[in-house]
Amino acid sequence: MKIEVDAERLAQEIDGLAAITEAEPPAVTRVVFTEQDLRARAWLRERCEEAGLAIRADAAGNTFMRWEGSRPELPAVATGSHIDAIPNAGRFDGVVGVLGGLEAIRALQRSGLRPERSIELIQFTAEEPTRFGVGCIGSRLLAGVLGPDADERLRGSDDTTLKMARTNAGFRGNLASVRLARGAYAAFVELHIEQGPILEREAIAIGVVTNIVGPASFFITVEGQGGHAGGVLMPDRHDALCAAAELIVKIESLARGSGSTDTVATVGICEVHPGAINSIPGRVKLGVDVRDTDGKRRDRVLNEMQRTAEQIAQQRQVQITTQMLNADEPAVSSAEVLAAIEQGCAEEELRSRRITARAYHDSSFMAKIAPMAMIFIPCRGGVSHRPDEYAAPEHIVGGVRVLARTLAELSHAH
């Protein structure tokens, strides 16, 4: 089977989608259910209609573009990713998996293949946590990890609920209808930029993702006592920021001491109140992210963090509370899908290596529905979530070729 990828058209489409942005180009900002997101969805729909795909959307806004197979009664094979983008991001994160997935289907159509299983391209809603503080909303709902109560529970910084935002965007219905049963798809494979430096550094064209880390995200609030910077003497202080600083360093230490370099912890938010140079901080809010390939090891670190917080609170006479946002399980790729990807690499004569995904993806939750694996391609310097994010055309084309062959293999009924 000959796979012909229209590299020029794909590059133009990536550029065309990048132009739908709230930020000044080359930066891309496309937050879910905003005007830019809805324009991008309509733009994508047009191109899928041109490819003859049947299109439907669920109540969460997840959109499914289907190429009907010769045996439509069988569970389909799926691919896809997301097109929402955090503020001032790049043009390739997620987009390569959606537009590359579309081009893989078109390449298979051009090859004359008639798949037995239907092939579906999925555009997931809100992979990025920008608006509602939780990532992968669409795939979480599909997998049942997030329930219908998310409609009212998830709120943006403007106090808009998920229900209000999706309804205003035209996606109506009960969120309970979004969930899919395990086995709804025969397989799921996602094409994505690596968002790390390994493939580029080792001059390898394809990363075959064997597992995806399990992230935990939470807020820690430290309540102390504010006061005048000159009026309160040191023995009388209950400085929330000093307590938070001690906790931040301990969080780093616990991650470093877990026994594995796969454990990582980041304090990415530190909000200090009242935030005046001559005022003792009375309240601090921290945003913390802890990830690991081993869920039990990660949870041991989380438990130790909690004990440490209790000790610091007692020693410094402050109050420390934790609000858990999510604690997701690591995902393991399917041997069958991995074999299909590696067979595709061999047929395309592209060097590959097995690799761990250290950012979370919609694939993490699709793994609860279907056998799953991911295809990584290199990105320059490992840079992502920045305007200078870049994937070379030849790497994108290579990824699409491997994806097309993987979909062709998996679409055969066995």
Q: What confidence tens digit (pLDDT) does each residue in 217-236 have?
A: 999 999 999 999 999 999 99
Q: Is the peptide bond before 235 cis (omega within 30 degrees of 0)?
A: no
State how far the Cα of 40 lies from the Cα of 46, in Å rounded to an integer: 10
**Every domain range in the chain assigned CATH 3.40.630.10:** 7-213+330-410
Alpha helices in 238-351 (DSSP H): 240-256, 295-316, 335-348
Q: Are 283 and 221 in contact (CB under 8 A)?
A: yes
Task: Report d(CA 252, CA 239) in Å as an integer.
Answer: 21
* CATH 3.30.70.360 residue spans of the chain: 214-327
Spans of the chain, pLDDT less than 70: 414
Evaluate whether 369 touches 188 at the Cβ level (below 8 Å).
Answer: yes
- pLDDT for the residue numbered 226: 98
In the numeric block, which tokens belong to residue 264?
């990582």
What Rg, from alpha-carbon coordinates, does the chain have? 23
Residue 106, phi then psi, degrees to nearest 5? -60, -40
Q: What is the pLDDT of residue 154?
A: 96
18 touches 41 (CB < 8 A): no
Cross-strand partners of 289: 217, 266
pLDDT given at position 92: 98
Token duo for residue 234: 């040191």
Q: Which CATH architecture is the domain 214-327 placed in?
A: 2-Layer Sandwich (3.30)
Helix (H, G, I), strand (E, B) or coil at 2: coil
pLDDT at 319: 98
> Cα–Cα distance between 279 and 229 in angstroms, integer?
5
CATH class of 7-213+330-410: alpha beta
Longest distance between any two alpha carbons in the chain, whole Å:
80
pLDDT attached to residue 17: 98
Judge contact between 258 and 297, C-beta under 8 A. yes
Contact 369, 143 (CB under 8 A): yes
Cα 285 to Cα 263: distance, rounded to the nearest angstrom: 23
Burial 194-209 (b: 16+ CB within 10 A, else e): bbbebbbeeebbbbbb
Distance CA 162, CA 168 (A): 10
Q: What letter would DSSP give residue 155?
A: B
Position 157 scores a pLDDT of: 86
DSSP 146: S
Asked if 187 contacts 372 with a C-beta cutoff of 8 angstroms, the reply is: yes
Spatial CA neighbour of 140 closest among 169, 102, 178: 178
Predicted pLDDT at 111: 97
Q: Checking DSSP bridges between strand 85-89 and strand 352-357, what pairing results, if any?
A: unpaired
- Please choose, from the candidates 84, 100, 83, 85, the residue with its C-alpha nearest in 3D space to the C-alpha of residue 27: 85
Are the beta carbons of 292 and 264 closer than 8 angstroms?
Answer: yes
The span from the CA of 406 to the CA of 3, in Å, is 12
